[in-house]
Structure 1
Amino acid sequence: MNLAPQVETAELSDTDLDTVSGGQAGGSSAGVGAAAGLYAEVGPLSVAAGLGAGASPQGVAADLNFNAAALH
């Protein structure tokens, strides 16, 4: 008896994926985008951060991420 969940997969073209995800700013949709990141290790501490933003005729998107971890 297999109790593992069953997942159906499908293959998407790049065009279909752009439609689902909103596409990439700066691509064929005549948008602009920018991204920046930082990674640092100080003693036993590791810190990473990133910032991204994009604008296209479809709208504006931005993201920010931060991660900190103690190294062993």
Structure 2
Amino acid sequence: MNLGHQVETVEISDASLDGISGGLAVGGSGGLFLETSIGDVCGDVVVAGTESDLSLGTSLNAATR
């Protein structure tokens, strides 16, 4: 009697594999840096999206002199 685990293998199409591994994605980013006599300001925006998801990230940093 064989008590080992049995594994079934299946062929996966490219379209199905895209959905499993995260699929197709698009992204973009932008930034702004302002230097003034009283301080500096830096801002960033990052956007990424897939067929079923959208992510947005922002940051703002300020420093005085």
> Per the shorter chain, which TM-score range?
0.5 to 0.7
- TM-score between both structures, scaled by the size of structure 1: 0.53
Letter in 2 for 1:50: D
Aligned mate of 1:29, from 23, 32, 35: 23
Query: Using the alignment, how far apart are the partners of 1:55 and 1:49 within structure 2?
Result: 21
Percent of aligned pairs sharing the same letter: 20
In the alignment of these two chains, the number of paired residues is 44
Q: Unpaired runs of 5+ in structure 2?
A: 1-21
Q: 1:47 maps to what in 2?
A: 41
CA drift of 1:59 comes to 1.0
Q: Unpaired runs of 5+ in structure 1?
A: 1-27
The Cα offsets for residues 26-56 of structure 1, whole Å up to 9 and x where unpaired, read as xx73111110001111013010000111101
**Residue 56 in structure 1 maps to residue 50 in structure 2:** yes
User: Considering only CA atoms, is the larger Rg found in Structure 1 or Structure 2?
Assistant: 2
Runs (4+) of structure 1 exceeding 4 A deviation are none
- TM-score between both structures, scaled by the size of structure 2: 0.59
Query: Using the alignment, how far apart are the partners of 1:53 and 1:30 within structure 2?
Result: 14
- SS of residue in 1 equivalent to 2:23: coil
